[in-house]
Amino acid sequence: MTTRSSGFSLIELLVVVAILGVLSAIGISSYSGYVKSSERKAVENIMQQMSLGQTEYYSGNGSYYSATGSNCTASSTTSTALETNLLGGADSISADLNYEMCIYLDSSNYMVKAKAKTGTCEITMTAHGTFTRTNC
């Protein structure tokens, strides 16, 4: 007389766990890609807001805002100065964004530069709204 078991064997459980592990690894890598992409889009949106702020600054002062000369190094100090002078003091460039920004003058126009705090991604925007991404 043989008895019949109604449960799963150890091999069946191991196969299911392995399949779930593969699916979760794929999901996590896709999710991190979406997060980085959304951060870049948020940065580009803020850069466009700065462009509008530059228009207002130019109409009030007769020149574009620039904290530095012909090039800049993005830092928390330059990001805070941009928030104060172009974004009305709003905390748009928050720590969650993972980017720091600065503006420099390029001939008669300005360039907005955003640099990732971690990694090598750098996004620049011309006064005409053209974006250039490097190492992103």
> For 25-43, how does the pLDDT look when each residue is reduced to its tens digit (9 = 90+)?
999 988 988 988 999 999 9
| Sequence spans of domains, the chain | 11-134
CA distance 42 to 33: 14
Whole-prediction pTM: 0.77
CA distance 129 to 136: 18
pLDDT tens per residue, range 50-104 = 999 999 999 999 888 887 666 788 888 889 999 998 988 888 888 888 899 999 9
In sequence order, the 6+-apart residues with CB closer than 8 A to the CB of 125 are: 44, 47, 48, 51, 111, 112, 131, 132
pLDDT greater than 90 at residue 113: yes
Question: Which pLDDT does position 7 carry in this prediction?
Answer: 78
